[in-house]
Amino acid sequence: MLKNIESKRLYTAIVMLIAIILIVLFHSPFLLWSILGIACIISFYESYQLYTKAKPNPLFTGLLVLFWISLYWLETLHIIFVILIILASYKAYTQKGNIAYAMPFIYPTIPFTFLYLLYLDYSINAIIWLLFIVGLTDSFAYFGGKLFGGTFFSNSRLCHISPNKTKEGVLIGISISVVISTFVGLGICNFSTSLLLSLITSISSVFGDLYESFLKRQAGVKDSGNLLPGHGGMLDRLDGYFFGGIILYVMLEISKGNLS
């Protein structure tokens, strides 16, 4: 059974890696917008069920689609706040529904928006940089925890929300990620800025993972979905990129004068 799960994880990981390589090689604003849009709709569906334990109202899915279309034309996330005002007004007027139904318009919709803006404003190099930061942090945190978990800390568990994560693993994951990702970031900014942003983004990606684990714990489920064999749902694969993408974009905006 364990070998079967690991095989599924490996096959799915290979397919995702090939998809990422193709996206990087043949990237265009429309292609990335389309792929992120599909992933956003799937993640919205998963998130809605985690927050409300119900399937999303078609009206809300329609609002999300309208927002994503407007994002392509306007290249701004301002309209999402208009949608949130509409939802809040609807809730106040009808006194029906759970306020949690608005949360998927914040998580994961806003993180997906930042991922798209990261590409538009800082090119495919920024997406590649983010892939390295989060991917290396997650992978080496996993293997580091397997190899050294419980070695340096008497209480090795990082957080009760995610019992499989260890302090040793996270420290190893962040360290290796920063060392490698700093050089990847040189395509966008100078060494010191790349080092700092790689570190902050790596740390934030860990908390992105923890937040999604918290949502699953609250909903009483193991995975956000079953779309990706061996990996769970879309949120399970992208959680670190949500927090990491926002932080990287904001930090790049703040550091604009020190990029070169």
Domain boundaries along the sequence of the chain: 27-258
* Lowest-pLDDT choice from 79-83, 104-108, 139-143, 144-148: 144-148
Which residue, 173, 132, 184, is CA-closest to 20? Answer: 132
Q: Is residue 10 over pLDDT 80?
A: no
Q: How confident is the model at residue 110 (pLDDT cuts 50, 70, 90)?
A: very high
pLDDT of residue 154: 67
Strands 162-166 and 157-159: antiparallel
The answer for 33, left when phi > 0, alpha when psi is -120 to 50, beta otherwise, is alpha
Average pLDDT of the chain to the nearest whole number: 88
With tokens 């959680």, the residue in question is 239
pLDDT tens column, 13-41: 777 778 788 888 888 999 999 999 999 99
Q: What are 50-56's contacts with CB under 8 Å, separation 24+?
A: 50/215, 50/216, 50/218, 50/219, 50/221, 50/224, 50/235, 51/100, 51/101, 51/103, 51/104, 51/215, 51/219, 52/98, 52/100, 52/101, 53/219, 56/101, 56/104
Average pLDDT (114-139) is 95
Average pLDDT (94-105) is 84
C-alpha distances in angstroms, 87 versus 50, 53, 92, 98, 110?
19, 19, 9, 11, 16
pLDDT of residue 91: 83
**Residue bearing the bigger pLDDT, 67 or 20:** 67
pLDDT of residue 37: 95
CB within 8 Å of 43: residues ≥ 6 apart: 108, 112, 224, 233, 234, 235, 238
With tokens 């983004």, the residue in question is 201
Q: Is residue 251 over pLDDT 90?
A: yes
